[in-house]
Amino acid sequence: MKYVNSSTTKNSKKNSVLILGDYSIKSNLNISKSINKLGNDITKNFVFTVKEHPLRKMSNLLNIEFKKSNKPLKDLIESHEFAIVGNTTSAAVDLYLLGCKIVVIIDEDFINFSPLKNKNGVFFLYNNSNLAKALTNFKEFEPDIKDKKKTEFFYYSKDYKLWNKILNNNK
């Protein structure tokens, strides 16, 4: 872990990455593995900020330079271009609706339950070696403001049509 005092880092939104910790230990391990695989040639071009889950620390798993923050997401997103989150965090929806470019790291042997599937501006990472590619080629994943309908995230139906479609892979 290389903690950096936030007063000594650049305060620019460009190439700044917000890392959101998760309550799930497995998700935190997968997030940190992906980030730790980034080479210095990539990390030197980004400023990283960690916002840990209130009940679970993860910063001790990281081998990059970063600053820590406890600010609310709506404040953090104003100074960050990207966010890296786990598959199970509901904060991904908040970030998406705030216009953030999001990398969702999918846990191995886990179903992707993210409500952000098939949304523009979201990169799903199934292999923790591909984070560098996601961060450097994110221009094709620009968020689409017209695509942000809140009702699509909170779908409810007594006959579970959407769940049946997801689980049975029916189109």
- Distance CA(112)–CA(163), nearest Å, equals 13
pTM assigned to the model: 0.78
Handedness of CA 131, 136, 139, 145 (dihedral sign): positive
Q: Note the pLDDT tens digit of each residue in 121-170.
A: 788 988 878 898 888 877 555 555 555 554 455 555 667 676 677 677 65
Question: pLDDT of 9-48, one tens digit each?
Answer: 444 678 899 999 999 999 999 999 999 999 898 899 999 9
pLDDT digits (tens, 9 = 90+) for 51-100: 999 999 999 999 999 999 999 998 998 999 889 999 888 888 888 888 88
Here the CATH number for the domain that contains residue 120 is: 3.40.50.2000
Which residues span the domain enclosing 132? 2-168
Number of domains in the chain: 1
Distances (CA, A) of 163 to 5, 35, 87, 109, 119: 45, 32, 17, 19, 18
